[in-house]
Amino acid sequence: MRRIRWTIGRAAAVRTRPGAFAYALWLAASCASLLPIAGCQQAPSAPQAQKEAAEKKEEGNAADAEGVTLKPEEIEKAGIKTTLAVASHHAVEVGGYALVITREAIAQAVADLSTAAAMERQSRAALARSKSLAGTPGAMAVEAQEAAERQATVDQASLQLAQRKLSALYGRNAPWKDDYANPELAALARGESKLVRVTFPLGALGSGVPRTLRLAHMAESQRSRSFESDTVWSAPADTSLPGRSFFAILKGSDVSEGERLLAWAPVGALEPGVVIPSGAVLINGGRYWCYVEEKPGLFVRKEIDPGMPTDEGYFVKENVAAGAKIVTESAGELLARELGTAAAE
């Protein structure tokens, strides 16, 4: 446009010369014919740009869908193995923290309870014997009778105190409620089972008690080997950590007393899907993938959602159906062939 204005100005400058007026008219007409051409260089409209971006995305998706095609001898040489995706069900989980209670406190509480119970039985029996002798030559003196009654009352109060102390420490709805000879309590005192106190953030769970709890060592990830407990009951609030607390019993685990653990509780209904094994999952471009053999020799990359990890891998609800042949070994080799890189992330 600057060149056009300069040309028009030049035409005006030569007006006074012979024939300059006709020459200026010719230049003006030429410049007018160039204006539509200059307008053609403008950027495309927003709808047109969106359409072009969508077409490019579709082309990219089509390219991804092509996957990697290998011959049987290439599959064997690469060491590629597959496994069938099995239908499964999983519920969304919320996370919390847990502490393994030392058995010293439990053993002490059980010992206090046993001692109080033994003393209460003895004093109660002595009082009953004293009353049975009343009116006979072997009857006890009035002072001795009163002392036996007083001792029986004191021992009974001590037993009730020990029971209430145990209830205050470990909840009113513990499995041994009103049955302090319960083998579960004795196993905790001996260290054969572990008592775990779990706390979840406020609002993370509803008002009910979780059906089960899943726990794992703090140093391990959520999809590492975990320990499950289906013996769960409400615990007194933790004064050092706001939230809802529960007790759970772990059997046959390698957790240590005083150890802190990660904990998860299921919320909501079970949802259908499949579990993608950990060895089948690849990370590329910040996204999670797996390969599925859609037909003999054709391996197609599928994106998965890593939001629901399990002990075995990742639970997914879409993009991979039950019965699909998932590549569990040498999936990185397929990614390298597809992207033309040396190795996957």
103-130 pLDDT, tens digit per residue, is 998 999 889 998 999 999 999 998 888 8
The C-alpha angle 295, 279, 87, rounded to 5 degrees, equals: 60
Which pLDDT band, with edges at 50, 70 and 90, does 53 fall under?
Answer: low
Strand partners, 264: 95, 214
Q: What is the rounded CA–CA span in Å between residue 116 and residue 194?
A: 25
* Separation of alpha carbons 252 and 247, rounded Å: 17
Mean pLDDT of 1-22: 42
Question: What torsion, rounded to 10 degrees, do the Cα atoms 160, 165, 166, 171 define?
Answer: 110
Which among 248, 228, 109 has a CA at the least distance from the CA of 173?
A: 248
Tokens of 83: 């496994």
- Return d(Cα 315, Cα 92) in angstroms, integer: 10
Check whether 252 has a pLDDT greater than 50. Answer: yes
pLDDT value for 92: 81
* 195 SS3 class: strand
Going from the C-alpha of 82 to that of each of 28, 74, 239, 321, 335, the distances in angstroms are: 75, 15, 51, 14, 15
Lowest pLDDT segment from 17-26, 84-93, 125-134, 324-333: 17-26
Q: Kindly state the greatest CA–CA separation across the chain.
A: 163
Tokens found for residue 339: 């992207």
Distance CA 149, CA 192 (A): 40
What residue type is 161 in one-letter code? L
**Amino acid in the structure at residue 307:** G
As a residue count, the chain comes to 345
Residue 248 or 311, more confident: 248
β-strand partners of 79: none
